[in-house]
Every structure is written in C-alpha cells, then in structure tokens.
C-alpha cells in the first residue's frame, strides 16, 4: 500500500504555467485585436489619404489623386465603393473613360442601394463619353451599342434613383433623379442623331461622295457638341431657377463632366 505524500509545490513549473496562460490569452484575444487594429487603420489612414487625394483633385492633379487613392483600397473595407467611385471620378477627369468605367462598375457592385444612383449616373457618363469618341470616329454601330448601354445603366436604376423614365416622373426634391432623367434624354437624342448619320439621312447636299464623307467626319463631332451645349444651357437655366448646386457645377465648354465628388 502506497503512502500518501504531501503535495510538493517545488515540483510545479510556475513559469511554464504562466507561459501557457499567456499563449491562451493571446490566442483568444487575437481576433479582437485584429478587429481593433483594422478599425484604427480605418479611422486614421483613410481620412488622411482621402484628404490628400481630395487636395490633388481640387488642384486639378487627377493622376496624383488616383495615385493617392490606391492605398485606400486595402484599408477601406467598410465603404470600399467610395474608393472606386472617387478613383473613377479622377480617371474621368483625365479622359480615361474606359478605366473610369471599370472603377464605376466596381463601385456599383459594392454600393448600398441608397447610394447607388450617383454611381449609376457617373457610370453612364463614362460610357456616354466613350460613345461620343466612337461617334466622332464614324464608328456609328459601336457608338449606338455604347449609348444603349449607358441608358440601360440608368434604366436599371429607376428604383434606386426614384424615377420613371417613360413618364419622366421624379420627386421635386430628388436632384439625383432629375440629373438621371436629364442625361437619359440627352443620350436618346444622341442616339437618334447617330442613327441618322449611320443611315445617311442627313440634310447635306453634295455631289461628290468623297466630299460627303469629309462633311460627315467633320460634322459628327460638332453635332454632338452642339447637342451637348443645348442640353447644358437648358439644364443650367433649370438649376438657376431651382437654386440648386449639384452635378454639372464644372460642366462647361460642352465637355461631359457631371461627375460628383464623394470624398
């Protein structure tokens, strides 16, 4: 029969026990620490980077604005659509419409329904700008496809923009909805003109087919610019009467530039 011996505290490795406790504490607290770290990065880095990008954007240095936004993609996990949206604006200002379109499409995938309308507006504008280029190059079929795509982007957002394009219905206080209707109308007018140009229905009297081709090439761009200018003038008058200051604040010289700043 074995004898009961008193418990020998000297045989306990207290240092080992403390190490094990520290390991457990670190293991269980790591997820919480990671979340806190991400929040800290969000609260400190994102505003600073966004302010730097905004300053470059205001100074007209759009390429620098895009560069300063690039690190934000990694840290802005909570409102990532804003990063794509802002970068799309900067790219649009640089006339890099294809790249801007890609960023706006990314923003549209990530944007909540309540913030979807401005993204759709700017996406439609980037597609429209590319279509204008195709039309000025007499690539009418491709331009028509792109104009249709731009309008489809707007029509798919009727609910988020709070509009009915068929009946031109929009709430009086819905500025985004009014802008969407304005752009949709302009694109439809451009479509009609481009289809006329493609089908040879212009009112141009020339005897030499070669001369007609020269007139077509020179007139397409001017017709689009004239159409843009008419819409711009009408829209600016509407803005003055309603004392609004939303999209189009920098829209001049018939250059498509409705992009909103969402810094």
pLDDT digits (tens, 9 = 90+) for 221-253: 666 666 666 655 554 554 444 433 334 333 333
Q: How many other C-beta atoms are found inside a 10 Å radius of the C-beta of residue 148?
A: 14
- Between CA 16 and CA 5 the distance in angstroms is 24
**Is the pLDDT at 138 greater than 80, yes or no?**
yes
Residue 105 counted as domain residue: yes
Model confidence band, residue 127 (pLDDT cutoffs 50, 70, 90)? very high
The boundaries of the domain holding residue 138 are 21-242
Q: Count how many domains the chain has.
A: 1
- Between CA 237 and CA 217 the distance in angstroms is 31
Burial of 61 (0-12, 13-18, 19+ CB in 10 A): middle
Residue 126 counted as domain residue: yes
CA distances from 239 to 75, 121, 144, 196, 230 (A): 38, 17, 29, 31, 14
E-only strand ranges, the chain? 163-164, 169-170
Pick the range with the lowest mean pLDDT from 18-22, 109-113, 226-230: 226-230
Residue 176 counted as domain residue: yes
CA angle 116, 89, 190 (to 5 degrees): 80
pLDDT (average), residues 113-119:
93
**E strand or H helix at 197:** helix 175-199
Task: State pTM to two decimals.
Answer: 0.60
Residue 5 counted as domain residue: no
Residue 8 counted as domain residue: no
Q: How many other C-beta atoms are found inside a 10 Å radius of the C-beta of residue 46?
A: 19
Which residue, 68, 105, 98, is CA-closest to 84?
105
CATH number of the domain encompassing residue 209: 1.25.40.10
Residue 247 counted as domain residue: no
Mapping DSSP onto H, E and C, the string for 83-146 reads: HHHHHHHHHHHCCCHHHHHHHHHHHHHHCCHHHHHHHHHHHHHHHHHHHHHHHHCCCHHHHHHH
Write out pLDDT tens, residues 24-45. Answer: 777 777 787 777 877 776 666 5
Q: How many other C-beta atoms are found inside a 10 Å radius of the C-beta of residue 161?
A: 25
Residue 178 counted as domain residue: yes
Residue 78 counted as domain residue: yes
Please answer whether residues 148 and 160 qualify as being in contact, where contact means their C-beta atoms are separated by less than 8 angstroms: no
What is the SS3 assignment for 169? Answer: strand
- Between CA 154 and CA 185 the distance in angstroms is 11
CA angle 175, 178, 182 (to 5 degrees): 140
């Amino acid at each position: 029969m074995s004898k009961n011996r008193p418990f020998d505290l000297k045989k306990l490795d207290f240092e080992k026990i403390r190490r094990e406790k520290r390991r457990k504490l670190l293991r269980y607290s790591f997820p919480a620490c990671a979340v806190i770290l991400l929040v800290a990065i969000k609260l400190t880095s994102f505003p600073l980077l966004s302010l730097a990008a905004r300053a470059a954007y205001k100074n007209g240095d759009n390429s620098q604005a895009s560069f300063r936004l690039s690190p934000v993609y990694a840290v802005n996990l909570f409102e990532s659509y804003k990063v794509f949206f802002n970068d799309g604006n900067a790219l649009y200002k640089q006339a890099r419409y294809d790249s801007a379109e890609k960023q706006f499409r990314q923003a549209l995938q990530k944007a909540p329904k309540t913030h979807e309308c401005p993204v759709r507006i700017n996406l439609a504008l980037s597609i429209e700008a590319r279509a204008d280029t195709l039309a000025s190059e007499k690539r009418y079929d491709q331009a028509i496809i792109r104009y249709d795509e731009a309008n489809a982007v707007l029509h798919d957002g009727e609910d988020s923009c709070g509009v009915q394009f068929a009946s031109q219905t929009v709430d009086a206080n819905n500025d985004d909805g009014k802008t969407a209707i304005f752009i949709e109308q302009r694109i439809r007018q451009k479509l009609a003109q481009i289809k006329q140009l493609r089908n040879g229905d212009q009112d141009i009297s020339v005897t030499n087919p070669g001369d007609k081709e020269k007139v077509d090439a020179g007139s397409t761009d001017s017709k689009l610019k004239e159409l843009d200018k008419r819409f711009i003038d009408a829209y600016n008058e509407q803005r003055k009467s309603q004392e609004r200051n939303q999209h189009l604040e920098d829209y001049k010289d018939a250059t498509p530039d409705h992009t909103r700043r969402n810094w």
